[in-house]
Amino acid sequence: MRHALPILFLASLASGLHADVTVRYRTEMKGSLQAMMQQASPQVSSLMPQETKLLIKGSKSYNQFGGTFAISDSSTKEFIVLDQVNKKYAVTTPEEYFRSIKTEMPAMPPMVTQMLATLQTKVDSKLTGQTETIKGIESAEREITISVEGPAMPNMPPGPMIRLVIHIWSATPAAIEKSAALRELVAFNQNAAAGLSSNAGMKQLFDMVPGITDKLGPVLQEMSKPGNVMTRVHCEMFMPALAAMMKQMPAGSSPVGEIDPKGSLMNVNVEIAELSTDAIPDSQFQPPAEYQKQPIDEFMKAYLARLKAPAK
């Protein structure tokens, strides 16, 4: 969840677009993990929002992801983050944005880093050959399976500690050819991918988790290929080790109740809900007049502090 901010940056980096585009995704999350997140901190659970929105106008874009809002202009490489709760904003660059996030994120304790280094991550990605029409858009399916295995532990079931199964549907070339809005989004994705490859900031953030860059790098490259416009993402998380731990707790003390060791701990479905080329006012791509400007480090420190605030 802590990579929601970098994802927001990538979703806001685009250039070379010629028509206004609005794309909105609706998210549904179910399962025991959602209850755990909500109990720990409603602020953190908001990082998986019920709805996200992307607006594009020429070289400018506006993105809403959870409680974070951003404006980007690819012609100037200017990136503006907005805090609608405290009515603040910060003007920055991609390099400074990533640096600020990394600076404000707490360092992992050495013990945690050593433990993560012992984990083995396996990734499998394949096209299934299945197609489906989603919101009127013909889409092809890709399945990605990520398994994380660790050393054998007493009273823990064999096999992966964590397994993620992700189904991603993307618009087919034929669907893109028929839709002006999809063609604009393809151009948007091309420039977002170019921004990722030319900026080392994202890699630095992923490198904070040992082994993740090497394993997920090829998958991320595949997903960011020019022409990819996602219409649906369905993700299931399985954690049999956690289910075993919950069973060992005294009756009634588990924060989420009993977990089926063979069932999914979390189900997330993200699906496109709106795609249009309606005109967007220029004011959407400017900070509101009543907002106060802050340095990026000060802005990010306040933002992350709010995420860490305990539930009331």
User: For residues 92 and 100, is the Cβ–Cβ distance under 8 A?
Assistant: yes
User: For residues 309 and 43, is the Cβ–Cβ distance under 8 A?
Assistant: yes
201: pLDDT strictly greater than 60 = no
Residue 14 burial (10 A CB sphere; 0-12, 13-18, 19+): buried
User: For residues 2 and 208, is the Cβ–Cβ distance under 8 A?
Assistant: no
Question: For residue 107, what pLDDT band results from cuts at 50, 70 and 90?
Answer: confident
Q: How far apart, in whole angstroms, are the C-alpha atoms of residue 65 and residue 54? A: 9
Q: How far apart, in whole angstroms, are the C-alpha atoms of residue 271 and residue 185? A: 16
Q: How far apart, in whole angstroms, are the C-alpha atoms of residue 218 and residue 308? A: 32
Provide the CA 129 distance to its chain's centre, in angstroms.
25
Q: Which residue has the higher pLDDT, 197 or 187?
A: 187
Q: Which CATH number fits domain 4-307: 1.20.1250.20, 2.120.10.10, 2.50.20.10, 3.30.530.20?
A: 2.50.20.10
55: pLDDT strictly greater than 90 = yes
Question: Which residues have a Cβ under 8 Å from the Cβ of 139 and sit 6 or more positions away?
Answer: 131, 132, 133, 169, 170, 171, 172, 175, 231, 232
Q: Closest Cα to residue 227, out of 290, 158, 179, 280?
A: 179
127: pLDDT strictly greater than 80 = yes
Task: Give whole-number Cα distances, 148 to 79, 158, 295, in Å.
Answer: 35, 12, 39
Convert the pLDDT of each residue in 265-299 to its tens digit.
Answer: 788 999 999 999 999 999 999 999 999 999 999 99
Question: For residue 114, what pLDDT band results from cuts at 50, 70 and 90?
Answer: confident
In the predicted model, what is the mean pLDDT of the chain?
76
155: pLDDT strictly greater than 80 = no
Range in 97-111, 149-163, 183-197 the model is least confident about: 183-197
Q: How far apart, in whole angstroms, are the C-alpha atoms of residue 51 and residue 116? A: 32
311: pLDDT strictly greater than 70 = no
CB-CB neighbours of 137 under 10 Å: 22
What is the average per-residue pLDDT within 156-161?
A: 70
Highest mean pLDDT among 101-115, 147-161, 252-266, 280-294: 280-294
Query: What ranges make up the beta strands (E) of the chain?
Result: 21-30, 51-57, 60-65, 68-73, 78-83, 88-92, 120-134, 137-149, 162-171, 230-238, 266-276, 292-293
50: pLDDT strictly greater than 60 = yes
138: pLDDT strictly greater than 90 = yes
Question: Which residues have a Cβ under 8 Å from the Cβ of 279 and sit 6 or more positions away?
Answer: 20
Domain boundaries in the chain? 4-307
Provide the CA 127 distance to its chain's centre, in angstroms.
21
Highest mean pLDDT among 10-19, 42-51, 150-159, 217-226: 150-159
User: For residues 294 and 80, is the Cβ–Cβ distance under 8 A?
Assistant: no
What is the model's pLDDT at position 295?
94
What is the model's pLDDT at position 17?
46
Question: For residue 228, what pLDDT band results from cuts at 50, 70 and 90?
Answer: confident
58: pLDDT strictly greater than 90 = no
For the chain, what percent of residues have pLDDT higher than 90?
30
Q: How far apart, in whole angstroms, are the C-alpha atoms of residue 201 and residue 160? A: 30
User: For residues 144 and 170, is the Cβ–Cβ distance under 8 A?
Assistant: no
What is the model's pLDDT at position 16?
41
What amino acid is encoded at 72 in this protein? S
